[in-house]
Each structure stands twice: as C-alpha cells, then as structure tokens.
Chains A and B, each alone.
Chain A
Amino acid sequence: MIQNSRRKNESKSSLSLLSSDDVNKKTLINRIQSYFYSHHLAFSSATSRISSLPFQSLSISLVVAIALSLPAGFYVAVTNLQKIVNVTDSSNTITVFLKTTATQPQIELLKEKVSLDEGIEVIKYISSQQGLDEFRAESGFGDILKMLDENPLPPVFLIEPDKDIQNNSELIKKLVTRLKKEHLIENIQIDMMWLKRLQAILLVSERLSFMLGVILAFGVLLIISNAVALSLDSKSEEVIVIKLVGGTNAYVRRPFLYTGLCYGSFGGILSWIFIAIAVYWLSIPIEKLSALYQSSIELEGLGFFGLISLISIGVSLGLLGAWLAVTRQLSAIEPK
C-alpha cells in the first residue's frame, strides 16, 4: 500500500519532469558524493567484468605474477646470499702455512717477529698436532689418519689483519708480500679473496636482477595493456553510447583503469605467494645444509614490506598499462 502510494507520488512528480533542472545544480558535498559514487560504479563494473571472464582474468594475473616472480625471486636469492657473505665476512683471516720442517723455537721466534707488523691485529698459532686433533674431531676421517705414518699437516698461523686494512685488498697484498719474505713460510692463503669475489658476483647479480626487473616490468605493462585493449575493443558500442549521452573520456577510462589495477594487484599478491612457497620449500634442505656447516642460516622471504612493494609495483604497472591502452584507442572510438 505504502509503496503504491509512493509510486503514485512519483508519477505525479514525473509530470514536472522537464520543468526543474536539478541535474546541473550541485553543491560541493554533492560533487564529492557523486565523485566517490562514480568511482564505486566504475569499480563494480570492472570487478563484474573480471568475474564474468574468470579464466581469462586469472590467466592474465598469473602471467603478471610469473613476470613479477622472476626478478623478485632473484632479489630474494641475492639478499640471502648477501646475508651469508656478511656473516662470514667478519671472520676473514689469512692462513699462513709454515714449513713442516720448522722447529718449535724457530716458530716461536717468527711469531714474535711477525706480530710486530702493524698490519696484523691478532695472530694465532696452531701446531701440526693441534691441527691433526681438530681435523680428526671434525672430519670423521680419524681412522684413516691413524694409518698415516707421520702428521701430514703443517703448522699454521691464523692471522687476523688490522681493521683498517681488512677491506683494502692493496694493503692486504702488501702484508702478504712482507710475510712471504720469511723463509719459514711455505704458503699463504687469503680466505677473504673468494668472499670478495663472491661479493663482486653478488653486486653483478643485484644489477642483473634489477635489469631483469625492468625488462619484465615492460612485459607486464604490455600484457595488461593488451588485455585492456582487447576488452575495450569488445566494449566499443558501450563507449559510443556513453559518449553520446555526455560521458567524458575520464568516465570511459575509469572502469578500465580499475581492471588494470585489479590485474596488477592480483599479480603482485600471487607472485608474493609463489615466492613464499619457494622459500618454504627451500628452507628445509637449506637448514640441513647449514647445520652441516655448523651455522644457522635462515632463508629470508619477502615479508610484509615485500608484499606491499609487489602489490604497489603491480598496481602502478596495471594502471599505466590500462591508461596507455585506453588513451591510445579512445580517440578512435567516436560516435559516427
């Protein structure tokens, strides 16, 4: 009853349909309201479009996710390696192998002399017997060692270089040449070198992952742009009608921007999940591996910050791709 009478009232007021003109009269609050409402409409139009083509939308998001996962995965690998390198880096030492023929007093004398060198912070002497004991305890080859007639291990100095020269390979080299002059010294090994090399490789890898990221970002841009262009193609009739009833280009563009935004953010979330799965899958064998090396290396995933970054990268690429696609085509779709 109430509804009926309301309808009657409405039809009465519809008689004055053309006399009032409140379409164009808008207060600021109305403007803000209608702005958000139009965004709400555009968003729901985009989501209904996406859910009406679930398989296509999912595959686009998956392609975006894969393209984002590659550089992100590379990044995770590099940061984890860097962490390991940094842990090991603090204990970089120079191993000095002495001649096996060196006698105990000779060695004592040499140690005294060498420790005066200003490039040396700490010097530690490991006799061949100590070395053998340690090796026996840790390697598990004790029984085999028993079969040897004499101790094959040389006496060793473990030298920790001074902090000031630790990161300067030139000064380290000079220290090594100074040490080499001693005739009791058989061989010198710098543990640090491979670390330096690894660090250099990591630096290159970091750049590589960045380059890979840029290239694949272009890929994502093209994927989303093409997807949006196709969906715009299929909607050209609608675009023409919207333009005929006074829709601006911004109005036409909005739902497509939301479509690109959805593809991008889904892709970002999916790629984060991919990497989280990969990290989890790798963490168990890596824990075992690091236990064998008496260290506790824990794989680090992307974390919350990574999720936010991946989503924002996906969203910006999605928006940009959609914007490019729509802007390129929109001027061509005009009512004829």
Chain B
Amino acid sequence: MILFDRVNKRYPSGHQALTSLSFELGAGEMAFLTGHSGAGKSTLLKLIMLMERSTSGQLLIDGKNLSRIDRKQIPYYRRNIGVVFQDHQLLFDRNIFDNVALPLFVSGLRPRDVGRRVRAALDKVGLSGKEKMNPIMLSGGEQQRLGIARAVVHKPKILLADEPTGNLDPQLSEEIMSVLNKFCEAGSTVLVASHDLELVSSIAQRLLRLEKGFLVEDKKTL
C-alpha cells in the first residue's frame, strides 16, 4: 500500500530531511514511526500527503506513483487518506457533526448518507450523541478522538497519525492507540508517527525508527 524506494528529501534551505529511505507497508498493516524530533517523521508523512514532494526516488501509494500526480489531482488523491494531527486541526466555529462531515461534504457525498456516516464514525470513537456540541466543550482526549473520527469518516485506505498522543496523559494515549489499532483490524493501513517509545513498545506492531533522515531500525515489537 505504501512503498518508499530510495526516497530523498532535501528542503530548499539545504536541510537533508530524508536520505535513501526504503520500506514497504502492506495493505491492512500497521506501523509506528519513531525517532527524535527532527529525525524526519513529519517529512515522511508530508510526502505521503503530498504536502511536500520528494527530491528523488520512487514513492508509490496504492500502486500510484506520486510524482505523476499533478497539483490539480492532489485533492482527489488526498480523499484516499485520513490524517490525525497532534493539534487535531478542528474547526471551532461549527459543531462536532459538521467537523466530522467535512471530508464527506468536500467529496460531494449525498446528504442522506452523510448523517449515517458521521454517526457511525462518532460511534466508533465513543462520541456518539454529541453531534450538536461544539468541539471546544470536549476534553483533550475527546478532541483527539474527534480528530480520528474525521480522519476515518470517509473510509480511507490509509490512515496517518502525526503524534496523536502528543498532549495526552499515558492512559488517554493508550486509549487513542487502541482506537487506531481497531481501524487497522478493520482493514485500513495505519502509520502512526510518535516519539513516545515506551507507549509504542507496549503495542505489538511493526516499528520503524528514523534517525537524522535514515531508517535505522525496522522491527516487530514484542
């Protein structure tokens, strides 16, 4: 599903973010991406999201070569991916329902399907019945789960998470991880960037460790 083949990324400033990165993540597989800050985790996710372009090397997502996707096609490509952000990127000027429904509105889903999908997604993350509330009324953990609901509401093939537990205490972090794990079990390909090695090691999944832009470890935990 995700295939990196000797991918390099050098920013215009001259900073080499990723060097000759190669790995493959199969469909339905889940992996953690760890490393210190600045190791290249965010850059890797940005390459998959096409927020950045690789300098050289091949990057294939679901069989598609990303270098062949031009600017105009990017929105349609992104509809196959769900992203969870550390700062959730929720919109506080609208209620929970509209936040979750955004990816569906954007892709032009029929209105009667939207309600059903949104409620299903909220149910999955344990927030059902709160559609009318404003996200600002939710706790940190709930906001993050809301972010996950928005990331999965359009049933993406790939789910990316960038430090989804960054601001949460260990118990809530575990809860978030188990929610993400559920989606992997349901068939999604899940890639989670996290610097929390302790938490990551406690979950039986594949672990990719980056250091200064190099992939230094690729192992199965536990």
Contacts and interface: CB of A to CB of B under 8 A. Distances in A.
A190 to B, nearest CB: 69
B84 to A, nearest CB: 11
A18 B89 contact: no
A32 to B, nearest CB: 10
A334 B155 contact: no
Interface string B105-129: 1111111010010011101100010
B186 A10 contact: no
A7 B124 CA distance: 13
Contact of B155 (A20, A35, A240, A242): A20
A144 interface: no
A11 interface: yes
Chain B contact-residue range equals 35 or more
Contact of B89 (A10, A38, A240, A334): A240
Contact of A10 (B102, B123, B150, B188): B123
Given A17-B120, A22-B113, A243 B75 contact: yes
A244 B91 contact: no
B75 A30 contact: no
A14 B103 contact: no
Contacts of B123: 10-11, 14
Interface in B42-56: 49, 51
Interface string A242-271: 111111110100000000000000000000
Identify whether the interface residues of B are mostly helix, strand, loop, or mixed. helix
B78 interface: yes
Contacts of A249: 75
B193 interface: no
Contacts of B3: none
Nearest to A16: B186
A159 B51 CA distance: 86
B112 to A, nearest CB: 10
Contacts of B155: 17-18, 20-21, 23
Interface in A1-56: 7, 10-11, 13-15, 17-24, 26, 30-31, 33-35, 37-38, 41
A11 B108 contact: no
Contact of A245 (B78, B186, B187): B78
Interface string B89-106: 101010000000011111
Interface string B154-183: 110000000000000000000000000001
Given A11-B120, A23-B155, A41 B91 contact: no
A238 B98 CA distance: 12
Contacts of B102: 241-242, 245
Contact of B111 (A37, A238, A241): A37
A264 to B, nearest CB: 25
Interface residues of A, number: 39
Contacts of B124: 14, 17
B76 interface: yes
A152 interface: no
Contacts of A240: 89
A20 B119 CA distance: 16
B79 interface: yes
A34 B75 CA distance: 17
- State the main secondary structure of chain A at its contact with B: helix
A37 B108 contact: yes
A30 B107 CA distance: 12
Given A245-B150, A246-B79, A38 B105 contact: yes
Contacts of A18: 152, 155, 183, 186-188
Nearest to A52: B93
Contact of A251 (B93, B106, B186): B106
B91 A10 contact: no
A335 interface: yes
A237 B88 CA distance: 12
Given A10-B119, A13-B120, A244 B89 contact: yes
A244 B49 contact: yes
A24 B156 CA distance: 11
A241 B89 contact: yes
B83 interface: yes
Contact of A38 (B108, B154, B183): B108
Contact of B106 (A24, A30, A31, A246): A246
A264 B150 CA distance: 35
Nearest to A237: B91
Closest 8 interchain pairs by CB?
Answer: A14-B120, A246-B79, A34-B108, A246-B78, A245-B103, A247-B106, A18-B186, A248-B75
Given A7-B119, A17-B121, A23-B155, 19 more contacts: A7-B128, A10-B116, A10-B120, A13-B120, A14-B121, A14-B124, A17-B124, A18-B187, A19-B186, A19-B187, A23-B104, A38-B105, A237-B89, A242-B106, A243-B75, A244-B83, A245-B150, A246-B103, A246-B106
7 contacts: A14-B119, A18-B188, A19-B186, A30-B110, A242-B106, A246-B79, A248-B75
